[in-house]
Amino acid sequence: MTDTTELLERERREWREIEDLVGGLTPEQVESQGYYAEGWSVKDLVGHLGSWLAEAGVALERMHGATYRPGELDIDAMNEEFLEALRPLTWRETRAQAESARARMLGSLRTLPEMTGEAAEWIDKAGPEHYEEHLPRLRGWVAELNGG
């Protein structure tokens, strides 16, 4: 069993860091490609994170309704699908989508009678573990965008 309080504190702390990093960027910086060599922008990253938070929320809701079925995910294909679907959105829409998906995931967690291993895994993989995967590059990219 995972310590729920610790997991949620990590999620909150790391999400706050992401918000702090992107919150000071101009609209042009948010759209500037280069976060990844493949052409991602900060907006694309936030949409990517929001998409996985939404997937986690759905998984948690299915766990609550006893309809969850674990299975293999084609992560690369899903990432491409998310990127294509979210690229036309504005920064404001992308950010709202991510914040809404995060709220849904956390709300879905509150409906679970107990924190199961599968639930903790989804939260960590979509939340803190995922954030930690992207934070080093985000810190560096924000510094580059700000001339540092």
Please state the length of the chain.
Answer: 148
Domain ranges of the chain: 1-14+61-142
Segment 4-61, tens digit of pLDDT: 788 889 999 999 999 999 999 999 999 999 998 788 999 999 999 999 999 999 999 9
Residues 105-123 have pLDDT tens digits of: 999 988 888 888 899 889 9
Instruction: Spell out the residues 6+ positions from residue 54 whose beta carbon is closer than 8 angstroms to its own.
Output: 97, 101, 104, 105
Q: How much helix, strand and coil, in percent to the nearest 5, is found in the chain?
A: 75, 0, 25
Predicted TM-score (pTM) of the model is 0.92
Q: Is 137 helix (H, G, I), strand (E, B) or coil?
A: helix
Instruction: Output 136 or 38, whichever has higher pLDDT.
Output: 136
What value does the mean pLDDT take over residues 70-84?
86
Sign of CA dihedral 20, 101, 57, 74: negative
CA-based nearest residue to 89, from 135, 47, 30: 47
